[in-house]
Amino acid sequence: MTIQIGDRIPSATLSQGTPEGPKPVNTDEFFAGKTVALFAVPGAFTPTCSARHLPGYVDNKAELKAKGVDVIACVSVNDAFVMNAWAESQGLTADDVVMLADGNGDFTRTVGLVLDGKGFGLGERSQRYSMLVVDGVVKELNIEQGGEFKVSSAEHLLAQL
C-alpha cells in the first residue's frame, strides 16, 4: 500500500556516502524533529534527474529553507557510492542535499512507491515523487504519473508551503 498524507515515515535504514564510506541512516532519527523536503528519483545520473530534478532543489534551497524546511534530501534505489558520486558530479555537499541511498529498495517498497523498470533493464526503482515530512509525518505527497516531471519538482513543493 502506498504511503499517504498523515502517515508516519516507516522505520528503515538508508545509507549515506561519507569520506569514511557508507554510513547507515535510520529514518526514525533522520526525520525526528525536522521538516524535510524529500524527493525521490528513479536513478542517479539519469537525464531528467540530473538536468532538472536535483538541480531544482539546489536552485530553490534558500526559498525552501525560508519557508521552514530544515533539510532537503534525495532518495534513490542506488548504492551510497553512486549517490555520493552523483552529488560530487553536481558539485553538491550534504549542506545542499542529503543524498540517501536505498540500495536494496527496502524503503521504496515499504512506502509503496516502486517503479518496475525491468522492461528497460533497470530492475526495480523508485517512482519519482516529493513529500514534505514534518517530525516523521507526511504532510504533502506528490507522486508523478509515468514519464512526467511536474508535481515532484522543487517549485511545486515550494508552492505547497
Catalytic center residues: 49
Q: Residue written as cell 526503482?
A: 125
Measured distance between the N- and C-terminal CA atoms of the chain, rounded to whole angstroms? 26
The residues facing 36 across adjacent strands are 71, 133
**Cα angle, residue 104 at apex, residues 143 and 128 outer, rounded to 5°:** 15
- Strands 71-76 and 124-126 come out as unpaired
Provide the 10 A C-beta neighbour count for residue 53: 23
